[in-house]
Amino acid sequence: MSGYPYSKHISGLGALIAVAVILLIPTVAFAVPGSGEFIAHYSGSGREMTELYNLIAKICLAVLIIVEGVLLFAIIAFRRRSDDDRPVQNHGDLRLEAGWTLAALGLQIWIGVATIDVMFSTETPPEDGFDMTIIAEASQWDWDFFYEFPDDDGREPFMHEDLVVPAHQNINLIVTSRDVIHAIFVPDLGIKIDAVPGRNNRWWFRADGPVAQVRAPDYATVGPRQEPYPQTRSARFRNDRYAAADRVVTGLERRVDFLGWTRDVGEVSPYEGYNAVEYQGTCAELCGRDHWDMYFRAVVMTQSSFDRWVDDRLSAVDEPIGEAVYARRCASCHGDDGTGDDINPSLVGADRVINPDRINDHIEIVLQGEGQMQAFGPVLNDAEIAAVINHERTSWGNDGGTIDADDVAALREELGLEPRPFMAAEPTPTDELMARGERIYQSCVTCHGQDGQSYDPQAVPSLAQNEVVVAEEVDELVQVLVQGRDSDQWPGRKSPVARSMTDLQLASLLTYLRGSFGNDAPPVQPIEVTDIRDDLD
């Protein structure tokens, strides 16, 4: 059809440019140095994966160039020159077809074998054993890391919000979850494994320290390929020979400048005083609303710094750094130096901040907010509030005396606020508990009725104004739900419906029961349920 006036302008030359563009974009992108490179450079297993990726990418690139080249050639060479062109027909050729089938098969086997090599070498536990074990526990939407040391070590296990590891040590990472499926992901160290509730997934790695970092920029030229092939697998992970680099590294090297919204990187790092390097860690499996905001710091320290850090954690474990809390929570309005701006008042020399008599006013405004200021009572725990208040009262020339966490707790009680001691789990909002509980309660309505009024109070007790339900202590209610009951008050049999519920589910149900049908008992937090259940067992 040559009936289309514009088409012949486009078809000839256009086809050429088309394919050129199609070819060019990917090729250019591959050609930019480093752009085709994997990010996992800073651990032994990460480097092996990077190498494997590079191998496969090169094979694929070669295949891509062959295919696109043949395509390009065919487009140009075999374009229709006249409408009467009648090409020679052929219907296939067994040799040719067998040829490319076997070639594809061969390439795949090559890639496969190379992969298996890396799989076994990165996943088999190291021959010289693990130096320490860290349990990473995910929850919506945060990470908790539990540090455990070998039995002969003598150091107590403890919990921390970031992943901190010593360099050049075999770290055994056990990953699990408290609620939905998450995935721990530290791109630079090549760590990724799903956190599945009810399962303990394992990943092990051996991170380079801040010193080995020196060779990272020219990694491409000093690749492990030039190493003599090691005798044992685990030896391939030792980069100690690079440790003798010239540069003397002191202090923190930061490779992270974004940690989401709730964990602003700010200017102050809690690891400022250690010889360490910081990476970004995050969650990779969709886990709900704040899936994208589950960042944590993955910090690799020299062994001596790590030991010092552990000692600091164990001794000063209940001292949040006021400066850090201030940077994260307050600096956006009151400014880094506390001077505020047009709208937000300055803290420097403010009466409430420097007057020792008004110390409770200061705590109160932080707890409850005022005007534009947000209430931090539900967000920060007592120790954090004490730390940030102390920071404000002793910085920028202020001298207003200090407080401790007990003062905050006392004031909370006085003001009738929810207690929020240090090291306690984040409370779940009551709205959320009610919403979840309502949904769960739908399984109960056949007996207990939609409005909590039983159809047959002789057989099934009503829940409205039920003394067990609205009792101050929920122990008995939990026991009934978890273990079932057969008693005079409740004749017949109450089945242990809640035995397989999670603490969150059960707490939601309890909160709903206690806050509906005209009941007006306080909500129940999952942590309370956990305690009661522990006692029951």
Residues between 259 and 318 that touch other proteins (CB under 8 A): 260-261, 280, 282-293
Q: Which element (helix H / strand E) includes 418?
A: none
Minimum distance between the CB of residue 524 and other proteins, rounded to whole angstroms?
15
Asked if 21 touches other proteins (CB under 8 A), the answer is: yes
One residue of 13, 31, 91, 397 binding other proteins per CB under 8 A: 91
Report phi then psi at 272, rounded to 5. Answer: -55, -40
One residue of 132, 138, 163, 183 binding other proteins per CB under 8 A: 183
One residue of 137, 144, 148, 194 binding other proteins per CB under 8 A: 194
Report phi then psi at 137, rounded to 5. Answer: -120, 120
Q: Which two tokens stand for residue 235?
A: 């030896």
Closest CA to 164 of 253, 279, 46, 323: 279
Q: Which two tokens stand for residue 64?
A: 């891509």
What is the DSSP secondary structure assignment for residue 163, as one 8-state letter? E
Asked if 534 touches other proteins (CB under 8 A), the answer is: no
End-to-end CA distance of the chain: 83
Q: Which element (helix H / strand E) includes 359?
A: helix 359-368
Specify the residue, 175 or 212, whose C-beta has the smaller distance to other proteins: 175
One residue of 13, 31, 33, 35 binding other proteins per CB under 8 A: 35
Binding to other proteins in span 322-351, by CB under 8 A:
none
What is the DSSP secondary structure assignment for residue 354, as one 8-state letter? H
Asked if 436 touches other proteins (CB under 8 A), the answer is: yes
Minimum distance between the CB of residue 1 and other proteins, rounded to whole angstroms?
7
Minimum distance between the CB of residue 120 and other proteins, rounded to whole angstroms?
8
Binding mask 141-160 for other proteins (x = CB under 8 A): --------------------
One residue of 232, 304, 443, 487 binding other proteins per CB under 8 A: 443
Binding to other proteins in span 98-127, by CB under 8 A:
100-101, 104-105, 108, 111-112, 114-116, 118-120, 122-123
Minimum distance between the CB of residue 406 and other proteins, rounded to whole angstroms?
36
Asked if 241 touches other proteins (CB under 8 A), the answer is: no
Minimum distance between the CB of residue 274 and other proteins, rounded to whole angstroms?
24
Q: Which two tokens stand for residue 343?
A: 């709208």
Asked if 404 touches other proteins (CB under 8 A), the answer is: no
CA atoms within 13 A on the CB side of 164: 26
Minimum distance between the CB of residue 419 and other proteins, rounded to whole angstroms?
26
One residue of 43, 508, 516, 525 binding other proteins per CB under 8 A: 508
Closest CA to 301 of 139, 169, 397, 152: 169
* d(C-alpha 265, C-alpha 260), whole Å: 8
Q: Where does this chain touch other proteins (CB under 8 A) — which range of 151-159, 164-172, 354-362, 499-507?
A: 499-507
Pairing of strands 296-301, 163-166: parallel
One residue of 95, 342, 416, 489 binding other proteins per CB under 8 A: 95
* Residues 156/148, Cβ–Cβ less than 8 Å: no
Side chain identity at 37, as an amino acid letter? E
Minimum distance between the CB of residue 437 and other proteins, rounded to whole angstroms?
10
Minimum distance between the CB of residue 395 and other proteins, rounded to whole angstroms?
29
Asked if 92 touches other proteins (CB under 8 A), the answer is: yes
Q: Which two tokens stand for residue 196?
A: 């599945």
Q: Where does this chain touch other proteins (CB under 8 A) — which range of 88-96, 308-316, 355-363, 365-373?
A: 88-96
Side chain identity at 320, as an amino acid letter? P
One residue of 13, 31, 33, 90 binding other proteins per CB under 8 A: 90
Pairing of strands 276-283, 252-254: parallel
Number of residues that bind other proteins (CB under 8 A): 130
| Number of Cβ within a 10 Å radius of residue 312 | 13
Closest CA to 142 of 269, 289, 318: 289
Asked if 434 touches other proteins (CB under 8 A), the answer is: no
Asked if 40 touches other proteins (CB under 8 A), the answer is: yes
Q: Where does this chain touch other proteins (CB under 8 A) — which range of 30-38, 361-369, 390-398, 403-411?
A: 30-38
Q: Where does this chain touch other proteins (CB under 8 A) — which range of 183-191, 320-328, 370-378, 398-406?
A: 183-191
Buried b (16+ CB within 10 A) or exposed e, 439-459: ebbeebeeebbeebebeeeee
Binding mask 55-84 for other proteins (x = CB under 8 A): -xx-xxx-xx--xx-xx--xx--xxxx-x-
Minimum distance between the CB of residue 199 and other proteins, rounded to whole angstroms?
6
Residues 6+ apart with CB under 8 A from 157: 146, 147, 148, 149
One residue of 417, 444, 447, 527 binding other proteins per CB under 8 A: 444
DSSP E strands: which ranges in 140-290? 142-148, 158-160, 163-166, 171-177, 182-186, 191-195, 201-205, 252-254, 276-283
Q: At what angle do helices 503-515 and 475-483 cross, to 10 degrees?
A: 120
CA angle 185, 188, 189 (to 5 degrees): 75
Q: Which element (helix H / strand E) includes 403?
A: none
Q: Where does this chain touch other proteins (CB under 8 A) — which range of 20-28, 300-308, 313-321, 364-372?
A: 20-28
